[in-house]
Structure 1
């Protein structure tokens, strides 16, 4: 039983940690999908992901004098009051600044400041890419979980269980059962 739990734990962490975390180095933000964002980059706006077509992950900058603060007004929906309007779909905005929030212990979230004129907007880049609120080349779109899991071939799985058998984690009988499962997938 312990060996089976160990196998599933190793497989889970192998899949989980194979995904890259976003990095901000030398004034360039490299997203988890490999897309590079830097000041001066023109970003094309996609479509909003909220029910009304407005943008959930692009909103009025928190430090902007145009940011709406009331939780009782606007029907208690501050997020909608500060959201980037659907009329901006298809437009291009220049990256003004890359902002980091969070800490090493709890993790970081990266925001990009875009805008025109007095009103600035902040964009949660990872989620804007994931929900296609900004348009990036297909190669930088996040892979679906099924794509990540299916990218491991039978031979990769067989190699892993063989290594577990060789290291003594799996008995001959357990190895054979796992091998049969993989071959019957």
Structure 2
């Protein structure tokens, strides 16, 4: 028994997850890391690959299966609020993995931004690491990491924020055009 293995599944399950074609974590672009182990001070981005596209497709499919349209911010926000309340109201030992819920709504927010702004899905590497993000294609200096948006608010138990935050980002990008 591993010291920190509680709740992680059997060794076979862990090995199977590790071998899966679609990783939740993008592969870091090691060419952007200097000798001191630091990433670039200015974010660098590259095209998404097949694994990242599969991750986006899976998130969109999960939302669609739940009857949630990423084109409707109010519906997306209401679905997130309901799912958070359900998760929060469940006994700790019985709760589903919140990472999967965060991922699903992060993909929904990101796809909404990709459909309504000049931002496009990219893999972004900076001093904080490598993430699936959205970046503008002109200057390359406007980056949104949807997982960070959702995870930070999840930790602070915020609800009701999705429509306002996403509409603000859309307005900022509209003004930038």
TM, length-normalised to structure 2:
0.26
- Larger of the two Rg values belongs to structure: 1
TM, length-normalised to structure 1:
0.26
Task: Answer 1 or 2: which has greater strand percent.
Answer: 1
* More relative contact order, 1 or 2 (CA 8 Å, 6+ apart): 2
